[in-house]
Structure 1
Amino acid sequence: MSTRPGRPVRLVLTPRAGRPPRVPLLAFIHQRPEFRAAVRDAGGGRTGGRPGFSDAVIIAVVAQGLLPGLFSLLQSWVDQQRTEASIRIQVGDAEVEVQVNGRTDATKLLDQATRALRQAGGVGAALPDQPDQPGPAGPAGPAA
């Protein structure tokens, strides 16, 4: 299998369903124009998902260059809603799942996903490398 750096990444975002969110995750993501066309509700009225997770599953197929921004948005939403989310990430034949909670660092989330994908499917440079210094995503937020 040849892994091209520009290959799109498919993500399944599943927010926790502790209580109804003040702002639904999809609406929060769609505030950024670059994600409106690529991120959508999975639809189909699925039921019987994983315990503790809502049926509001969101599908995203995005260019790898957009992942840091998407992960940063997801982390901001998790922090604001004081909840958790699950991200299933697929590049080619490799797939991994990572959990996002209030203690997750958005800049390290992509690194964690990259390492897991490399271990799961031998993916070489499937995802963009992260710089050693924090990006312009802003402060990590208050400690709980």
Structure 2
Amino acid sequence: MTEPSTRPGRPVRMVLTPRTARPPRVPLLSWIHRRPEFRAAVRDAAGQGGRPGFSDAVIIAVVAQGLLPGLFNLVQSWVDQQRTEVSIRIQVGDAEAEIQVNGRTDPTKLLDQATRALREAADGEAGPTA
């Protein structure tokens, strides 16, 4: 049986944190907003406390799990263009995991990696059952 926190119907909250040494040619948020399905769900986290050492804005996304492959493909293509990386903290329900996207990441495996990490996080929170 599938854990409630990793059910496909639950929305996914993500914090995307790009790492760039210099200002990107196209900011990640602008890159993602090229696709209309992400314009309302993906926004700049300005005013919510960014992290030092990250030159691009921290981005918040709350999307349906069905949109994750498209979002991961966009992030991967941006990473490839910028020759940089993005840290993505993913939360579904109470389960939370972090994955790194870099130039060596296979975009077709990102969803599997995220799903596996969330499942492991959910299992770790549940603890042993009697």
For normalisation by structure 2, the TM-score amounts to 0.86
Contact 2:27–2:56 (8 Å) recurs in 1? no
1:36 aligned onto 2:39: yes
State the AA in 1 paired with 2:60: I
**Aligned sequence identity (%):** 79
Gaps of 5+ in 2: 125-130
Residue number among 8, 11, 20 corresponding to 2:11 in the alignment: 8
Tell me the SS of whatever aligns to 1:122.
Answer: helix
Which residues in structure 2 correspond to 1:12-31 (within 5 Å)? Answer: 12-31=15-34
State the AA in 2 paired with 1:86: S
Q: Which residue of 2 aligns with 1:127?
A: none
Q: Which residue of 2 aligns with 1:94?
A: 95
Q: Which residue of 2 aligns with 1:140?
A: none
* 1:40-85: CA deviation from partner (whole Å, max 9, x where unpaired): 00110735x15x4236100000000000000000000000011111
1:77 aligned onto 2:78: yes
Give the structure with the larger helix fraction.
2
Contact 1:11–1:59 (8 Å) recurs in 2? yes
For normalisation by structure 1, the TM-score amounts to 0.78
Gaps of 5+ in 1: 124-144
Q: Which residue of 2 aligns with 1:46?
A: 49
Tell me the SS of whatever aligns to 2:4.
Answer: coil
Tell me the SS of whatever aligns to 2:29.
Answer: helix
Q: Which residue of 1 aligns with 2:118?
A: 117
